[in-house]
Chain A
Amino acid sequence: SENEPPWGIPCTQLDVFVATPGCDGFPSLDSKESYKLSVLEGSLLLSADTVWGALRGLETFSQLVGRDENGTYYINETEIVDFPRFPHRGLLLDTSRHYLPLRAILETLDVMAYNKFNVFHWHIVDDPSFPYESSTFPELSKQGAFNAMTHVYTASDVQTVIEYARLRGIRVIVEFDTPGHTLSWGPGAPGLLTPCYSGKDPSGTYGPINPILNSTYQFVTDLFKEVSTVFPDFFLHLGGDEVDFTCWKSNPQIRAFMEEMGFGEDYRKLESLYIQRLLDIISSLSKGYIVWQEVFDNEVKVRPDTIIHVWKEKPTLYMEEMANVTKAGYRALLSAPWYLNRISYGQDWIAAYQVEPLNFKGVPEQKDLVVGGEACMWGEYVDVTNLTPRLW
């Protein structure tokens, strides 16, 4: 009859059962995020193997609760068994092209949780600015940040981000991109970058990190020692993209070194030399690494558990790259079709949605090597005034 309330017995609590405790730990690539949600009259049960699964289930539960026109909260009876297809579901923010205040990063982490993202790829420094306050090398941000007082991430800021993320089951993978994309490192680390030459004389400008000096590798060791302790995730992103060889070619000491090593004119070999030494340093710090695809494309020798980050949309179709990377036995991350900074008119979410990450020629073992992907929001045209509506 019309007067009967349409809803059944009110539900008073959601029971959450987690099989393996681990609330104090950090999520990892291997974390289980599966959960079961059972909504029956008189009983609401969310069960998961780990707390990370429970978080995903809570998000789902929150989405199932509706409100009718009388203001009553309701939920339909339902049985859900859910788990992610890919274990690495990431978002990249770039805090070098434009500084992002802490609140913008934290807000983004909240929205990531609403969308079950579990990796925050923090592209923290780059050419334009160095906002990361290093305890080992304080001059880096003092000289390299847009403003050393207002446009930096202190050690406390960084811990705030890591903990805020952890509570949402989100891993923080920091990227210190080298040897290119490092102009802002120069002012605070004299001698680190390669001086470019105009004929016989230094031109006054600088290029990528200088790969022929011992001081370089000492610096890199010390910096990454700090970074490895500050950031708890097993993985570090080491960059390695878009290394411009022009400056190296112009520098007489580097040319001499190339001769000495028998590299001829192949500067990719010099790049490989640097990257290999960097990877050895990182390994000795017991960290794994992710690198942009150039490291693979330029045939650098990398450890078998390296993750290759595929980002180039041209000239090779990125699916070919995914095939090649996985064929060589490496795990792959896909970002190429998901550069969300490249805005265009209309419903471009559709193109992003229609990407099928495993649409490449390969055997099932290859496909298993695709660990996931990342949506990237590069910062050339993005700051706190437009980040949220541009990304979501």
Chain B
Amino acid sequence: SGGVRCGLCVLSLSRAPRRYYGYIFGRSWPQRSHRPLGARAEPELLELQVVIESADPGCQSFPHLGSSEAYHLTIAEPVAVLKADEVWGALRGLETFSQLVYEDDYGSFLVNESEIDDFPRFAHRGILLDTSRHYLPLQSILTNLDAMAFNKFNVFHWHIVDDQSFPYQSIFFPELSDKGAYSYKHIYTPDDVRLVIEYARLRGIRVIPEFDTPGHTESWGKGQKDLLTPCYNGEEPTGSFGPVNPILNTTYEFMTKFFKEITSVFPDAYIHLGGDEVNFNCWKSNPEVKAFMQKQGFGIDYAKLESYYVQKILDIVSSYNKGYIVWQEVFDNKAQLKSDTVVQVWMANNYAYELSRVTAAGLTAILAAPWYLDYISYGQDWKKYYSVEPLNFPGSEKQKKLIIGGEACLWGEFVDATNLTPRLWPRASAVGERLWSSKNVTNLQDAYQRLTNHRCRML
């Protein structure tokens, strides 16, 4: 039999016990199960009690970077107890509990007496999905959030728009998706976005959207005239466009209004602002941009122009009381960053040294560089993901504390709903364990045994 009581969270998160009942017993609650004929008369576990200790358990709120995900699980006859400070820990503990229950050959459900004290090593454990290179239907995103919960991931980094398409249906600027999405069917409406955020919340997963600028913005130009820089060939515009135009006031008026919407639609304390791979060629070709460079005294150092733009955007977003995450170039090109900026290190070459530099400057960092899971190759590549040690870089203890976690990235150039799940999983599970478990959990043979079981469980 089984029953789960959630002490303080009757409304919002009571779905978790119901959901986990289904995972454990393979059928819906609250059917009473009967002991199958011929089953042994063992000590019975009648109930799993879930106790959330904090005065504000967090059931009605959103998870955040500082949330407590620790839990204590005691499995003993006749009542097992799952204790956590906050509901987020209870969710992690429920996942663990569901993994401990197994079925014998007679159809009985068994669980071993256990005492588990668990908490994550890193607070930011994310998965990046890219819905611009290929649109991902809502179902793919939701299924992926389930898979993330099975692996205790707690951040969905939604790289929602990019050069190729703009599927985000903006309320203030409907033309962006009207003109920029692949088709009217390939969009995320405000309802879709709300659904994703709530589905994630119920699994203790933060949704951090990324609106990457000033590069990676070709699709924005379709629905927003004069946002992008016109490229020139000599005196004449070529007809093609480059990054966001950093010299026009209209650009910043647009961004102010646009991010007002974004910061209210997405409840997380952080927004990812991108800032990677800005190609300077178009700016260099544009006479007005060149004139602006002169006026500002930037000479021919276009990194200064990029930083000028980025800083203005950061200020806009800060004014809405959001923190921001940026790709490493923003730091590398010496923009002025607030002290609570998170820098995402993605360039594979010498990433350990980048981690040193970022943390030496007192900024927090998340690591993605060794975990680009879209880079498929033949064989057991999960091993190389598992073997990454994020704190293996030259630096003081204080610096190491500034690594708040990492992300497995599944860029979408060759990914859509037809292949997302088998491409991402169970390889991403290796990253999930690396980010949750202790530094000394590194044995590949042991991990292999558990990973094969875990994969079958996820199926």
Contact = CB atoms under 8 A, between A and B. Distances in A.
A254 B398 CA distance: 67
B376 A344 contact: yes
Contacts of A390: 419, 422
A353 interface: no
A385 B419 CA distance: 10
Contacts of A345: 374-377, 414
B379 A381 contact: yes
Interface in B375-432: 375-380, 414, 418-419, 421-423
B459 interface: yes
A385 B424 CA distance: 12
Nearest to A392: B418
Interface string A343-355: 1111100000000
A366 B139 CA distance: 54
A389 interface: yes
A343 B459 contact: no
Contacts of B375: 345
A343 B418 contact: no
Nearest to B421: A385
Contacts of B376: 343-345
B414 A346 contact: yes
Interface string A323-349: 000000000000000000111111100
A386 interface: yes
B197 to A, nearest CB: 28
Contact of B422 (A342, A346, A347, A389): A389
A344 B419 contact: no
B374 A385 contact: no
B448 to A, nearest CB: 14
Contacts of A381: 378-380
B378 A342 contact: yes
B378 A343 contact: yes
A343 B414 contact: no
Given A341-B378, A345-B376, A385 B459 contact: yes
B459 A344 contact: no
A195 B37 CA distance: 44
A344 B377 CA distance: 4
Nearest to B419: A389
Contacts of A342: 378
Contacts of B419: 386, 389-390
A272 B421 CA distance: 46
Among B377, B378, B380, B421, residue most surrounded by chain A Cβ atoms (within 10 Å): B378
Nearest to B425: A385
B377 A343 contact: yes
Nearest to B413: A346
Contacts, number: 31
A385 B422 contact: yes
Query: Secondary structure at chain A's binding surface: helix, strand, loop or mixed?
Result: loop
Interface string B48-91: 00000000000000000000000000000000000000000000
B378 A389 contact: no
Nearest to B458: A385
A389 B420 CA distance: 9
A215 to B, nearest CB: 36
Contacts of A346: 414
A345 B372 CA distance: 11
A381 B382 CA distance: 12
Contacts of A343: 376-378
A340 to B, nearest CB: 11
Interface in B334-390: 374-380
A345 B423 CA distance: 11
Interface in B193-227: none
A273 to B, nearest CB: 35
Contacts of B379: 381
Nearest to B378: A342
Contacts of B418: 388-389
Contacts of A347: 414
A344 B422 contact: no
A344 B378 contact: yes
A76 B97 CA distance: 61
A311 to B, nearest CB: 16
Contacts of B422: 385-386, 389-390
A296 B422 CA distance: 38
A350 to B, nearest CB: 13
Contacts of B459: 385
Contacts of A341: 378
Nearest to A388: B418
B126 to A, nearest CB: 22
Interface in B297-348: none
Contacts of A389: 418-419, 422-423
A388 B459 CA distance: 16
Interface in A361-392: 381, 385-386, 388-390
Nearest to A339: B378
Contacts of A388: 418
A293 B422 CA distance: 33
Interface in A100-132: none
Interface in A281-304: none
A346 B418 CA distance: 16
Which of B377, B422, B423 is most buried by chain A, counting CB atoms within 10 A of its CB?
Answer: B422
Nearest to A386: B422
Contacts of A385: 421-422, 459
A342 B421 CA distance: 19
A130 to B, nearest CB: 21
Contacts of B423: 386, 389
A27 B205 CA distance: 55
B348 to A, nearest CB: 13
Contacts of B421: 385
B433 to A, nearest CB: 20
A343 B378 CA distance: 5
A103 to B, nearest CB: 15
A385 B456 CA distance: 11
B185 to A, nearest CB: 14
Interface string B273-289: 00000000000000000
A322 to B, nearest CB: 24
A45 B459 CA distance: 48
A331 to B, nearest CB: 30
Interface string B163-190: 0000000000000000000000000000
Nearest to A387: B422
Given A345-B377, A347-B414, A385-B459, 9 more contacts: A341-B378, A342-B378, A343-B378, A344-B376, A345-B375, A385-B421, A385-B422, A389-B422, A390-B422
Closest 4 CB pairs of A and B: A389-B419, A386-B422, A342-B378, A345-B375
Interface of A: 341-347, 381, 385-386, 388-390
26 contacts: A341-B378, A342-B378, A343-B377, A343-B378, A344-B377, A344-B378, A345-B374, A345-B376, A345-B377, A345-B414, A346-B414, A347-B414, A381-B379, A381-B380, A385-B421, A385-B422, A385-B459, A386-B419, A386-B422, A386-B423, A388-B418, A389-B418, A389-B419, A389-B423, A390-B419, A390-B422
